[in-house]
């Protein structure tokens, strides 16, 4: 069995723990729940600057301004979302929606995400995520926007709503299903245990979630993340993030808010999926099918292995 971990509840050397000093010199408050602050090493700033246009049409760039924030999920240094009770995860969901509501009035794109685990480049194990709000919509979101708008024009319904309906009818790629949410290994998944998390009734953004749908989101997150951890009895690494309808979307009703989960593990807690060789030069290939991955996740216990 994997090591159950030995991190302290409070680490005096952690810049995310309560009452500790950060790189900026600021001291964190004695927070008891969630906590948000401006990233001390922000990739985006509010300052606007100009870029001299290139003489060549092959090499063009534009400036982007924005804000980067860090969101602490809990003051407990020794926890992850998978180990937090549903009511505490619900506080994180409320934080996501509040931050989105604020930043989406100022920026075209608000990217809420979490990198979990050192294998995903996370240097601090304290439970936390980030928000990058930007004046420009990133490339992958633009591709989703184009696909969703095209489908909506043809079918008259949001593409992801159609996928929800088809997946519920089939059931073979479902990992978790609650009253208001669906977690599937998508048909097009690249990573072995990739997850697409969707509301069962389409809404464009987190702002449109009703209180009962928000609470149910905390429930399905808890169940999904426990299954992740239980699969290989390890604190399962991943990158996850929310995609909302862009601020200047030409077809906001074509959008369904959704979250992507991209975990790198393949066959065990130590065997990682690598995108190399043919996958970098040609196209990705799957080591297991989406249906096999979904079944493996469904078959593990819904009680966290640390508590079983």
In the β-sheet with 66-72, what is the strand arrangement from edge to edge?
35-38, 66-72, 128-134, 109-116, 238-243, 258-262, 195-199, 181-184, 174-177
Q: Residues with Cβ < 8 Å from 274, sequence gap 6 or more?
A: none
Q: Quick one: how far is CA 37 from the chain centroid?
A: 19
From the list 77, 128, 258, 260, the catalytic residue is 128
Q: Which two tokens stand for residue 223?
A: 């169940």
Q: How many CA atoms lie within 13 A of 283 on its CB side?
A: 3
* Sequential DSSP letters for 263-291: --B-SSSS-B----THHHHT----SS-HH
CA angle (116 as vertex; 112, 122 as ends), nearest 5: 95
Q: 304 catalytic, yes or no? A: no
Active centre residues (catalytic): 128
């Amino acid at each position: 069995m994997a090591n159950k971990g030995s991190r302290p509840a409070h680490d005096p050397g952690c810049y995310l723990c309560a009452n500790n000093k950060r790189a900026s010199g600021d001291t964190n408050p004695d927070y008891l729940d969630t906590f948000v602050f401006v990233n001390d090493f922000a990739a985006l700033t509010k300052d606007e600057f100009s870029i001299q246009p290139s003489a060549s049409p092959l090499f063009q760039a534009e400036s982007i301004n924005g804000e980067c924030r860090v969101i602490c999920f809990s003051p407990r240094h020794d926890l992850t979302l998978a180990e937090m009770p549903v009511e505490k995860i619900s506080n994180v969901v409320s934080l996501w929606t509040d931050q989105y509501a604020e930043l989406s009035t100022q920026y075209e794109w608000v990217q809420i995400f979490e990198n979990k685990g050192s294998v995903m480049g996370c240097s601090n194990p304290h439970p936390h995520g980030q928000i990058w709000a930007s004046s420009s919509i990133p490339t992958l979101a633009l591709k989703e926007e184009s696909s969703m708008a095209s489908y909506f024009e043809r079918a008259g319904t949001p593409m992801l709503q159609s996928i929800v309906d088809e997946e519920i009818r089939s059931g073979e790629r479902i990992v978790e299903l609650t009253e208001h949410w669906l977690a599937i290994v998508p048909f097009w998944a690249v990573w072995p245990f990739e997850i697409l998390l969707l509301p069962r009734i389409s809404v464009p953004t987190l702002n449109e979630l009703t209180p009962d749908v928000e609470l149910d989101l905390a429930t399905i997150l808890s169940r999904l993340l426990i299954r992740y951890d239980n699969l290989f009895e390890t604190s399962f690494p991943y990158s996850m993030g929310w995609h909302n309808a862009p601020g200047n979307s030409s077809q906001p009703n074509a959008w369904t808010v959704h979250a992507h989960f991209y975990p790198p593990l393949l066959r065990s807690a130590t065997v990682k999926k690598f995108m190399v060789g043919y996958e970098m030069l040609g196209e990705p290939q799957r080591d297991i099918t989406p249906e096999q991955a979904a079944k493996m996740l469904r078959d593990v216990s819904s009680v966290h292995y640390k508590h079983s």
